[in-house]
Amino acid sequence: MAIDPNILKLYLVTDPHLCAQLGVEKTVEAAVRGGVSMVQLRDKDASTADRIALATRLKPICAQYQVPLVINDDVEAALQSDVDGVHVGQGDMAASLARTKIGTDKILGLSVETVEAAKQTPSNIVDYVGISPIYPTPTKSDHKPPIGFDGLATICAASPVYTVAIGGLKITDCARVMAAGVNGMAVVSAICGQDNPYDAAAGLRRSLDALFL
């Protein structure tokens, strides 16, 4: 599908441990009210059944604010819960197979960590790539060494599809992230780890919107 790149502007990736105090549902609800434009349900330790159950609860929350919901690395959960799409990593299901399974109308994202991977992204299959990691991040232990903002700009320029930056990003990084040429900024702890996810999301969204008046 041809996605609107604006949905990538402020992209929330959930973390069940960081969301433990409020819970994922309340965190997501506050975040989308605050201005998050896309949500990815990510829980590496959950079963497919658990992901389906949580996605089913998150769907009406995201739909109320017209925010797409995708699931990380679990095509079956995405299909069973009928969310808006799926995001896969380089070591997970091949993007071509994921697209075959989810059909042409769902969103498909792909993680890339190198220029070579970005160049090889099939633009007729993948809607956007998540470029990482900008900084070291404790929420994802299997990533490659940090690429920094110069690396982000280089990989972004090599991508044939829309781009999102991820990896330890905070509100103080907004200007440098968007200056690299990406379409959006993905965060985890900058929202999930905060006492007030609404305020955190609203602050991030204001900062990003100010860069593109």
pTM: 0.96
Confidence band, pLDDT 50/70/90 cuts, at residue 60? very high
What pLDDT sits at residue 136?
81
Listed in sequence order, the residues at least 6 apart from 167 whose beta carbon sits closer than 8 Å to its beta carbon are 132, 133, 134, 135, 136, 137, 140, 143, 146, 147
- Looking at the chain, the whole-number percentage of residues with pLDDT higher than 70 is 96
Over 90: is that where the pLDDT of 179 sits?
A: yes
CA distance 27 to 191: 8
Confidence band, pLDDT 50/70/90 cuts, at residue 105? very high
Confidence band, pLDDT 50/70/90 cuts, at residue 159? very high
What pLDDT sits at residue 92?
86
Catalytic residues: 42, 111, 140
- Rg (the chain; Cα; Å): 16
